[in-house]
Structure 1
Amino acid sequence: MEVTKVLHMNGGIGNSCYAKNSLLQVILMTKSITNKVISTLYNNLSPGETIRIVDLGCSSGPNTFLTISQLIQTIHEECKSNGQQQSPEIHVFLNDLPSNDFNTIFRLLPTFYEDLRKQNMGGDGLFVTGVAGSFYTRLFPCKTLHFVHSSYSLHWLSQVPDGIESKKGNIYMASTSPPSVVKAYYEQYERDFVNFLKYCSKELVDGGCMILTILGRKNEDRFSK
């Protein structure tokens, strides 16, 4: 089964929507690393060059704009510290699967732009584009992106591993899963992540950077949280 055809967070603005339930803001945990990377990218820009950033797996909740806000603030502060009056233009690509609730994002954009102006961080030089598609495929032309960001998205596989649909019991990894199920998930993740790196290597400009936040384990127990 292809995950790209069915996977999405709850859309809309109701009580059960992702926008009202995405309170864990993991991006704050990587803020210092992100600031350092963006500062380096900014200082390596050619005069008048537009910074192109993608957030992979943006979903449609408030965390979408939290990511963009942090990146813009870092660029703005770097610009001021260098004595420059105007920040470079920024093109942000928001990526998720086609079933994602992009409409909610676009409806909130005018308010987001207004908030930036109130904080004296411009808004007129910011351009936001929605990009629907799997990040396990090519999404951008060669040498397009300066910075790739993804938070808690790359643990989703592109599909349910082949060969486990007929297994009795759990088709996910559990303590009772046979070794074949564990092996199938491992190999599917390996294929997906190799494809991701292969495509990103083409889409990034020379000297471009990525920050990827991915779930992991603290020990070798395959069933550990």
Structure 2
Amino acid sequence: MGRVRSTLCMTGGTGDASYAQNSLLQRKALSKITKPLTEAAIKELYATIKPQTRLVIADLGCSSGPNTFLAVSELVDAVGEFRKKATRNSPEIQTNLNDLPRNDFNTLFRSVDKFNQKAKAVDEDNIYFVSGVPGSFYNRLFPSESIHFIHSSYARHWLSQVPKGRTNDAGLERNKGNIYIANSSPQSVWKAYLRQFQTDFANFLKIRSRENKPGGRMVLAFVGKDESPLASRQECCAVYNLLAMALSGLVAEGLLADSKVDQFNLPKYNPSPQEIMPLVRKVGSFEIAKLENHERQWESCPQDADGRTSNALQSGQNVAQTIRAVAEPALEKHFGDAIMEELFTRYAKLVAKHLTAEKRKFVLNVMQLTKKRHR
């Protein structure tokens, strides 16, 4: 895997394995964690920039499930609430929905009419326009200083490409048997992933600074880690290390060549706040208004008094379905579709066993940035 533009996307459609049906974890984060920061940011923006005729919003990495219009609805509702309190006329709202070209935009656009009807029921004065913008958010997407508010949830931890090893571009040097950072990964792998994140995030900030209006806002929510150096032991990595174990089981039984696993590495990185803040300061175009860490459970099956999942088998299957909706297109392109059912059946069992061991959580970073005004 090199650049992810042609390989990375969520599973489309509305079937049992689709992202639309397996994104409850992300939906809860939008409702409970991201929403307060988003509402505060949009109201601050509306009060300071005071858009009279048009408010332009961009949702980066929108995917194609119901979460897309949940995020948009919350933004629009926040604007409407503030507008009514301030007794101002309603501006026209332009919403730009962005994802990679392989995203299922057809399913997404079939939800537009339902969204418009709901929005009109809330406030008949609202006027909305929705556009799809296919492309990588590591490239320019919009005209200069055209966007008031940028939102991105559960997308910014994806990298522009798999970090390059010294020996080839298809995988990371000596990261054998792994598909991401693991306890057995050498320091060169850790450094390669961190280096790629630093390059990508700095580039992302520079590009958005050109597109965001002075005084504009940006809210980003993405899977991360705390400041502990033992990042590979954390849940942000464990969920994919278990997937590597499932692949290794197929190798052991002769169902898959070990070279295929060695050549596959996920293009993602889960940063800590200590890795984020220096990059924001270095680029210099944005100020950090807020940066929060939230612990999240892998999924919401009932837990016992000790915090262990009480129905581990069902939980394992739920987590496996969530990861399948996110990772299957890339896995299928590399390994083929013949092993997918067996792979995720084994993966669900490994996750179930993992969940019975102790309380399992991961970290979600949520940050609010403000574009600096021209001097």
Q: CA separation in 2, counterparts of 1:216 and 1:14?
A: 29
How far does the alpha carbon of each residue in 1:58-115 deviate from its partner, in whole angstroms, 9 at most, with x for none? 000111000010011111111111123x411111110100000000111111111111
Q: Which residue in 2 is equivalent to 1:67?
A: 71
How far does the alpha carbon of each residue in 1:2-49 deviate from its partner, in whole angstroms, 9 at most, with x for none? 111101111111111111111122122122221111112112345633
Do the aligned residues in 1 keep the contact of 2:53 with 2:90 (CA within 8 Å)?
no
Q: Which residue in 1 is equivalent to 2:139?
A: 137
Within 5 A, what are the aligned runs for 1:6-85?
6-24=7-25, 25=27, 26-28=29-31, 29-46=33-50, 48-84=52-88
Within 5 A, what are the aligned runs for 1:1-225?
1-24=2-25, 25=27, 26-28=29-31, 29-46=33-50, 48-84=52-88, 86-120=89-123, 122-123=125-126, 125-163=127-165, 164-165=171-172, 167=174, 168-220=176-228, 221-223=230-232, 224-225=234-235
Q: CA separation in 2, counterparts of 1:33 and 1:180?
A: 36
Do the aligned residues in 2 keep the contact of 1:10 with 1:17 (CA within 8 Å)?
yes
Q: How many Å apart are 1:176 and its aligned residue? A: 0.4
Do the aligned residues in 2 keep the contact of 1:56 with 1:150 (CA within 8 Å)?
yes
Q: CA separation in 2, counterparts of 1:180 and 1:188?
A: 12
SS in 2 for 1:20: coil
Q: Which one has the bigger helix percentage?
A: 2
Q: How many Å apart are 1:152 and its aligned residue? A: 1.2
Larger radius of gyration: 2
Change (3 A) 1:114 1:186: same
Do the aligned residues in 1 keep the contact of 2:173 with 2:189 (CA within 8 Å)?
no
Do the aligned residues in 2 keep the contact of 1:57 with 1:95 (CA within 8 Å)?
yes
Do the aligned residues in 1 keep the contact of 2:9 with 2:103 (CA within 8 Å)?
yes
Q: CA separation in 2, counterparts of 1:199 and 1:120?
A: 34
How far does the alpha carbon of each residue in 1:99-151 deviate from its partner, in whole angstroms, 9 at most, with x for none? 0000011111111111112223545x111110111111111111011111111
Do the aligned residues in 2 keep the contact of 1:152 with 1:214 (CA within 8 Å)?
yes
Do the aligned residues in 2 keep the contact of 1:151 with 1:214 (CA within 8 Å)?
yes
Do the aligned residues in 2 keep the contact of 1:161 with 1:188 (CA within 8 Å)?
yes
Do the aligned residues in 2 keep the contact of 1:171 with 1:181 (CA within 8 Å)?
no
How far does the alpha carbon of each residue in 1:182-215 deviate from its partner, in whole angstroms, 9 at most, with x for none? 1111101111001000101111111111111122
Q: How many Å apart are 1:166 and its aligned residue? A: 5.3
SS in 1 for 2:42: helix
Whichever residue aligns with residue 69 of structure 2, its letter is F
What is the TM-score normalised by the length of structure 2?
Answer: 0.57
Q: How many Å apart are 1:165 and its aligned residue? A: 4.2
Whichever residue aligns with residue 119 of structure 1, its letter is V
| Unpaired segments ≥5 residues, structure 1 | none
What is the TM-score normalised by the length of structure 1?
Answer: 0.94
What is the aligned length? 223
Whichever residue aligns with residue 68 of structure 2, its letter is T
